[in-house]
């Protein structure tokens, strides 16, 4: 379920041509061969536990069922659409962060218009194939059920065998269920007033039987900054995603300014929230368009003003092509600090009322992190802010710290208060301080060793001699 971000959503035509055959082979290997293996296993199972007639029925029906594959893979548009949807799928969270679903839909529409004619030609044949498949599957199940019922009347099978056959046959053709978060009927826009965020007795789990959040309750007052800390897997980032409503909660309520976020439109909710993620996603495009993703309608001047606020404008102008500089796949041409500043500029351009920092600097070195903190302070000034932090030294001055442990709020309070309690937070603080001290000592030791290895400087007299 942790879906993270991948490559440019606008791949070039030559890349698509190269990837088309690769993905075609990939689909065949990953879809057809496992399906054939399943059929063979099913045939062996039915022959072993029933008799050869049932194996023959499965073989005939599934052979006819698989006849659709040569037709589909001859249609080139299917491969192109598959590739593009794959890119969009892996970038789902990122697109939602910036409320850009409509923009991406528009880009996707432009990409497939040139294939519209061939698509229409395939619709009739695909519809015919689908109906034929349904008839084949239904006929096979009917024939198998009648044959099984006949053997029951003849005393060769028991009633339990008939039930087993129907259940097993049903699982072979079971369709996957796709669920998603949808707006409720007549959902309205979020009436944003001050930015008060409330979690009230929130329960959540990705899968039944394993709770990620258990009775989580806290309040972030307008303009306050609250930090979430804890071990990996404790549920910190899940809280961020639930506030964006990437998932529906199983219990409790999440409110913004007293309004249940499950009762408002998702686009309206996300338009008021900005995020600086740990893994910054940059498209294979120029820097200007990467920053503009925060607000698609922004002008070039607004983009540059956001870059100035994020302290990256001068760095961009130092590049030979300035804002037209291509960042490469996933921003590989930029350093970690530069990518984070681009993400900060995006958020500044979006101008949200609520800021979420999901371990925004944990992947950076200490010095770069300190430089980034000043830019983050500008973004979060006078805005409701929730920070997921790894380094505790970056959240000393926040209004409230929530220590999350196994999906529960174990401790809460300011930095000094939690240290005085001597609990989980104090232990985490002492461990990090000890690690920082050891790291500093190692650095100094390496420097001294390096100095010893340097040859002594020769004086002018030695040079003369």
Tens-place pLDDT, residues 228-264? 998 888 888 899 899 988 889 999 999 999 999 999 9
- Is the pLDDT at 358 greater than 50? The verdict is yes
Residue-range domain boundaries for the chain: 13-172, 197-426
Number of Cβ within a 10 Å radius of residue 20: 16
- How large is the average pLDDT for residues 1-8? 38
Model confidence band, residue 445 (pLDDT cutoffs 50, 70, 90): low
At residue 70, the pLDDT reads 45
CA atoms within 13 A on the CB side of 291: 33
Burial (CB count <10 Å: 0-12, 13-18, 19+), residue 214: middle
- What percentage of residues in the chain have a pLDDT greater than 70? 64
Q: Where are the alpha helices (DSSP H) in 272-335?
A: 287-292, 300-309, 313-318
Mean pLDDT over the full length of the chain: 75
The residue-averaged pLDDT of 271-286 equals 84
Residue 128 CB burial class (10 angstroms; 0-12, 13-18, ≥19): exposed
pLDDT (tens digit, 9 = 90+) per residue, 89-146? Answer: 556 667 777 777 788 778 777 767 766 666 676 676 667 767 776 776 677 777 777 7
Closest CA to 365 of 439, 308, 450, 291: 439
Q: Are strands 400-405 and 408-413 parallel, antiparallel or unpaired?
A: antiparallel
* pLDDT tens track for 94-106: 777 777 778 877 8
Note the pLDDT tens digit of each residue in 316-353. Answer: 999 998 999 998 877 788 888 888 888 888 888 888 89
Cα torsion through 267, 269, 275, 277, rounded to 10: -70
pLDDT band for position 462 (cuts 50, 70, 90): very low
Nearest to 384 by CA among 408, 357, 360, 414: 357
User: Taking the mean position of all CA atoms in its chain, how far away is CA 452?
Assistant: 49
Q: What is the DSSP letter of 257?
A: T
Sign of the four-CA dihedral 151, 152, 158, 161:
positive
DSSP 8-state symbol, 98: T
The model's confidence at residue 74, banded by pLDDT at 50, 70 and 90, is very low
pLDDT of residue 330: 74
Q: What is residue 114's predicted lDDT score, i.e. its pLDDT?
A: 65
User: What's the topology of domain 197-426?
Assistant: Rossmann fold (3.40.50)
* The pLDDT value given to residue 227: 92
Q: Report d(CA 217, CA 341) in Å as an integer.
A: 32
């Amino acid at each position: 379920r942790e879906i993270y971000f991948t490559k440019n959503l606008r791949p070039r035509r030559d890349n698509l041509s190269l990837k088309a055959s690769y993905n075609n082979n990939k689909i065949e290997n990953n879809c057809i061969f496992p399906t054939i293996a399943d059929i063979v296993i099913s045939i062996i199972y039915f022959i072993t536990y029933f008799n050869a007639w049932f194996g023959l029925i499965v073989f005939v029906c599934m052979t006819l069922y698989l006849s659709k594959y040569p037709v589909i893979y001859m249609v080139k548009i299917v491969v192109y659409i598959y590739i593009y949807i794959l890119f969009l799928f892996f970038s789902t969270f990122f697109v939602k962060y910036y409320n850009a679903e409509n923009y991406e839909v528009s880009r996707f529409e432009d990409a497939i218009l040139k294939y519209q004619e061939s698509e229409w030609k395939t619709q009739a044949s695909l519809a015919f194939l689908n109906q034929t498949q349904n008839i084949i599957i239904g006929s096979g199940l009917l024939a198998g059920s009648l044959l099984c019922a006949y053997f029951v009347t003849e005393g060769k099978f028991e009633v339990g065998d008939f039930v087993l056959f129907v259940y097993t046959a049903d699982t072979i053709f079971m369709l996957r269920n796709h669920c998603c978060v949808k707006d409720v009927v007549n959902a309205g826009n979020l009436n944003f007033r001050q930015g008060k965020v409330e979690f009230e007795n929130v329960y959540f789990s990705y899968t039944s039987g394993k709770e990620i959040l258990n009775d989580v309750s806290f309040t972030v007052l307008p303009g306050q900054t609250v930090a979430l800390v804890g071990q990996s897997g404790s549920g910190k980032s899940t809280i961020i995603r639930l506030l964006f409503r990437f998932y529906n909660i199983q219990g409790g309520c999440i409110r913004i300014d007293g309004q249940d976020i499950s009762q408002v439109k998702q686009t309206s909710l996300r338009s008021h929230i900005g995020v600086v993620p740990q893994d910054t996603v940059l498209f294979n495009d120029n820097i200007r368009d990467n920053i503009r993703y925060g607000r698609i309608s922004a002008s070039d001047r607004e983009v540059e003003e956001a870059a100035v606020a994020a302290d990256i404008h001068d760095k961009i102008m130092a590049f030979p092509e300035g804002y037209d500089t291509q960042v490469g796949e996933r921003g590989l041409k930029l350093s970690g600090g530069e990518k984070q500043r681009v993400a900060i500029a995006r958020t500044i351009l979006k101008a949200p009322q609520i800021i979420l920092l999901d371990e925004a600097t944990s992947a950076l070195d200490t010095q770069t992190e300190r430089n980034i903190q000043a830019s983050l302070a500008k973004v979060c000034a006078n805005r409701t802010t929730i920070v997921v932090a790894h380094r505790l030294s970056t959240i000393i001055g926040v209004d409230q710290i929530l220590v999350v442990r196994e999906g529960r709020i174990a401790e809460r309070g300011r930095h000094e208060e939690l240290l005085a309690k001597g609990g989980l937070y104090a232990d985490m603080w002492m461990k990090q301080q000890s690690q920082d001290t050891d790291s500093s000592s190692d650095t100094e030791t390496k420097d001294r060793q390096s100095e010893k290895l340097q040859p002594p400087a020769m004086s002018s007299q030695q040079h003369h001699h």
